[in-house]
Amino acid sequence: MISELVVTTIADNLVLKPGLWGQWGLSYLLEFKDSKGEKRKVLFDTANDQTPFLYNIEQLELDLEDLDAIVISHGHSDHTVANVEAVEMAGGCPVYAHPHCFLPRFYESKDGKRTRGGVPEGQGIAEIEAAGGQVILSADPVEVVPGLWTTGQVPRINDFEKVSQPMGGGRRIVVVDGDEVDDYILCDQSLWMDVKGEGCWVITGCAHSGPVNTVNHVAQLGGYKEIYAYIGGTHLVGRDENYILRTARELEKFEPKLFSPCHCTGFNAMSILHREFGDRFAVNYCGRVFKTGEKPSPMVF
């Protein structure tokens, strides 16, 4: 069980705090006391654009020199653009990811044109290790520091959450053991922790596995019937209202006290989720800080 958790949003699509820079990407800094009472810092994802990511770190006066670890939610460029720079700022640290995270990825349009996807060039395993990082790949849950866990690969068990196809059609491809296969983003993982006095917090990247599948998996891993907080992406952008409403109603079964979707959620889904969760909903944005023991306002301040 951890305590004194502070979650700072470094990178997100929205900017509602003066002096910061938004982007289509995501990154969080988690600061807390672990289950043994030691102070810890863990970076979750490294954004999509380096310049605003590094700028926001400076403007928010965040210190990454003593990072205990970096965790990568999945192998897409909007979460991995500054892996090396983050490792360098930390002076070297472990980097946790799924075994598929750093595999070659492509997008193939309907007319057969291909563009490179996945982790950007220069941000892969070899470069991370050259910068002093230790890459740890696991499809199973991993205890990053005492009391903070990855979900590992999330089982996709419900009947409605499916990996969305690229807008405009086409195909996502990943190269596994030399073979090109459809990319179902199996590398998607999240973070979870049991927080003293509050319960389970879940922090997602994009939740490509589905937010409901993700929370169900965490509930099974930790033996939870409820979660306290869900913070992060939901990948509901482009989904229809029925799909969004079903997501909300399935998540409601866990009675979250704080629900803060962001990044790949989309304006339409954000509006619906705000309506469904009421004063438990909190808009996320660059520079937003969540702390244990404090109830954030639903909107900006």
List, as one string, the DSSP characters of the chain.
-BEEEEEEEEE-S---STT----S--EEEEEEE-TTS-EEEEEE---S-HHHHHHHHHHTT---TT--EEE---S-GGGTTTHHHHHHHHTS-EEEE-TTTTS-EEEE-TTS-EEEESSPTT-SHHHHHHTT-EEEE-SS--EEETTEEE--SPP--SSS--PPPPTTS-EEEEEETTEEEE---TT---EEEEETTTEEEEEES--TT-HHHHHHHHHHHHT-S--SEEEEE---TT--HHHHHHHHHHHHTT--SEEEEEGGG-HHHHHHHHHHHGGGB----TT-EEETT----SS--
In a domain, residue 44? The reply is yes
Q: State the pTM of this model.
A: 0.97
In a domain, residue 300? The reply is no
Please state, rounded to an integer, the average pLDDT across all residues of the chain. 95
Stretch 189-195: mean pLDDT: 98
Residues 137-186 pLDDT 10s = 999 999 999 999 999 999 999 999 988 777 678 899 999 999 999 999 99
| Percent of the chain whose pLDDT exceeds 70 | 98
Q: How many domains does the chain have?
A: 1
Q: The domain spanning residue 36 has which CATH number?
A: 3.60.15.10
In a domain, residue 129? The reply is yes
Stretch 48-68: mean pLDDT: 97
**What does DSSP say about strands 179-182 and 199-204: parallel, antiparallel, or unpaired?**
unpaired
Q: Which residue has the tokens 């983003």?
A: 185
In a domain, residue 126? The reply is yes
Predicted confidence (pLDDT) at residue 301 exceeds the cutoff of 60: no
What's residue 226's pLDDT? 98
In a domain, residue 50? The reply is yes
In a domain, residue 296? The reply is no
Q: Which two tokens stand for residue 73?
A: 């939610």
Predicted confidence (pLDDT) at residue 219 exceeds the cutoff of 90: yes
Residues 24-33 pLDDT 10s = 999 999 999 9
Predicted confidence (pLDDT) at residue 213 exceeds the cutoff of 70: yes
Backbone angles phi, psi at 149, to 5 degrees: -120, 150
Predicted confidence (pLDDT) at residue 79 exceeds the cutoff of 80: yes
What's residue 149's pLDDT? 98
The answer to whether the beta carbons of residues 62 and 31 sit under 8 Å apart is no
In a domain, residue 301? The reply is no
Predicted confidence (pLDDT) at residue 285 exceeds the cutoff of 80: yes
In a domain, residue 158? The reply is yes
Residues 82-116 pLDDT 10s = 999 999 999 999 999 999 999 999 999 988 899 99
Q: Which domain holds residue 160?
A: 3-291
Stretch 208-234: mean pLDDT: 98
Predicted confidence (pLDDT) at residue 300 exceeds the cutoff of 60: no
